[in-house]
Amino acid sequence: MKFQTHLQNILINPKSFFLKNLGVKQTIFKNTFWLAAADGITKFLKLILIIYVARILGATDYGRFNFALAFVGLFAFFSDLGISSITTREISQDKEKEKEFSSILSLKLLLVIGTLILILIGSFFITPDYLNRKLIWILGVFAVVEGFSGIIFAFIQARQKMEYQAWTKILEALIVTAAGFFVILNFPSVENLSYSYLFASLVALIFILIFFHFRISPLKISFQKSIWKRILSMSWPLAIAGVFGVIYTNTDSIMMGYFGQITPIGWYNAAQKITNAALIIPGLIGVSFFPVLSKFFTKSKEKLQTIWNYFFELMIFLAVPTVAGGILLAPKIIDFIYDPSYLPSILAFKMLIIMAGISLLCSPFSQVLVVAHQQKKLFWITLLGAIINVILNSILIPRYSLYGAAVATVVTIFLILLLLFRFTLKLTPIKPFNLKFLFGFLSAIFATIPMYFIISQPRIYNLNVFPSILIGAAIYTLIYLILKTLIKYSRLSLCKW
């Protein structure tokens, strides 16, 4: 009945359904739809650009570009320090906090300037190569400019109007792709590519600020130190956790660059880019759930558990087939996207797709810890993860290069999942283990087995990679839904009996 009601609302008044918040599930669906549309278009356009960049520049220059991006990413979180997540949470829970946004905006501006200074100074210590250093400078400006829009999106997410965020992200992707293709086809060099990224981020930020000022809320700058102190007192655990999270995310590429393994960086990041694409939709789902979880944490623990269960079930639904299908189709995926010089990426991709599956399961736990004001625990979790990752990378990369980096990443994210589970069980009202989890997990496993068997058959496997993926996804979804329906009616029958 609820599905039929939503379908009728879409057919009768699609504008209202996709642009207004009409209820909890509809709002989650609407926000996820817009973010999925935006990130789907964004990632698709950037993936096409990356394919051409990797082919035209080659693994070595592509490795230079990713080394610079990884180093910049190591510092970029200082431009936020967790204030975006806190802003979304605070405004979601109390609309009166919108009045403090002007002070938060000024704090963000100061953090951006400070971060850029750190990047410029750090570039002189990480590499003696002038070209690598110059790429770091250019992409450093790009990163802080792009990062400034994050605080704007935090406000938009608090209002649960993700359609605005979607439109601006699509615009930025179009500019990046157009500028990138123009440069790579006419003036192919890694330096010119970096300049195209910087140009696109500046144009997109100008548009975002104008749109926000005239359509959402007038932009103002206010220097209220009391608000800065309060926001930072809440965000510092997230900030430090983010720093260590960035360390274990980027340390592999940085350490490979430090050891002079520039070409393996290109191979590793070629695999990593595709893995990141598998995390697009789950990441968008997480963004859509965060304001809703924040809202019900203060209003209803029962509804909080219900929404969290739904969130976790979706992550399980996506994680299991992603890992199985990714491992099976890895050679076809790498061969289709890149040229034969990237064949060393295949094994790294198989390892990283396991990391992606574990990351999906981490999301519900980390989100509810933030909602429950337990961000300090995230600090300790990511600190431990960063330390383990650095130790493993320092041991494995000199011996096994990109494959050692991939193993270090998988081990780290698995340990983080275990810690997230422990703290969620101990410090939040959420009960992770319940019948919904059990039935969802079993349904995903039993739906993945026939999917794997069918797409491994030569007639399906030897097709173009996209039909193979679509056939596998269709088979998995159909069997999963059948199993869920059977479980539902079996439970109803038992209850009646």
Tens of pLDDT along 317-370? 999 999 999 999 999 999 888 878 888 999 999 999 999 999 999 988 888 888
Q: Is residue 53 part of a domain?
A: yes
Q: Report pTM.
A: 0.67
Q: Is residue 17 part of a domain?
A: no
In this prediction, residue 223 carries a pLDDT of 83
For residue 300, pLDDT beyond 90 = no
Q: How confident is the model at residue 10 (pLDDT cuts 50, 70, 90)?
A: very low
Q: How confident is the model at residue 3 (pLDDT cuts 50, 70, 90)?
A: very low
Q: Is residue 5 part of a domain?
A: no
What are 95-107's pLDDT values in tens digits? Answer: 777 777 888 888 8
| Contact present, 211 and 164 (Cβ < 8 Å) | yes
CA neighbor of 104 nearest in space, from 87, 82, 79, 92: 87
- Summary mean pLDDT of the chain: 81
More confident residue, 203 or 354: 354
Q: Is residue 484 part of a domain?
A: no
For residue 491, pLDDT beyond 90 = no
CA neighbor of 65 nearest in space, from 263, 249, 333, 336: 263
Name the most confidently modeled range: 145-159, 251-265, 419-433: 419-433
More confident residue, 370 or 395: 395
For residue 21, pLDDT beyond 60 = no
What's the mean pLDDT in 364-384?
82
What are 126-176's pLDDT values in tens digits? Answer: 777 888 889 999 998 988 888 788 788 787 777 766 677 777 778 878 888
More confident residue, 285 or 454: 454
In this prediction, residue 36 carries a pLDDT of 67
Domain count, the chain: 1
- The secondary structure of residue 429, as a DSSP letter, is S
- The secondary structure of residue 215, as a DSSP letter, is I
For residue 243, pLDDT beyond 70 = no
More confident residue, 239 or 122: 122
Q: Domain range for residue 261? A: 27-432
Question: What is 46-106 written as a DSSP string?
Answer: HHHHHHHHHHHHHHHHHHHHHHHHHHHHHHHGGGTTTHHHHHHHHHHH-GGGGGGHHHHHH
In this prediction, residue 4 carries a pLDDT of 45
Tell me the CA distances in angstroms from 177 to 44, 270, 324, 339, one per residue in order. Answer: 10, 18, 31, 21
More confident residue, 11 or 39: 39
In this prediction, residue 413 carries a pLDDT of 92
Q: Is residue 455 part of a domain?
A: no
Q: Is residue 136 part of a domain?
A: yes
For residue 27, pLDDT beyond 70 = no
For residue 30, pLDDT beyond 50 = yes
Q: Is residue 2 part of a domain?
A: no
Q: Is residue 4 part of a domain?
A: no
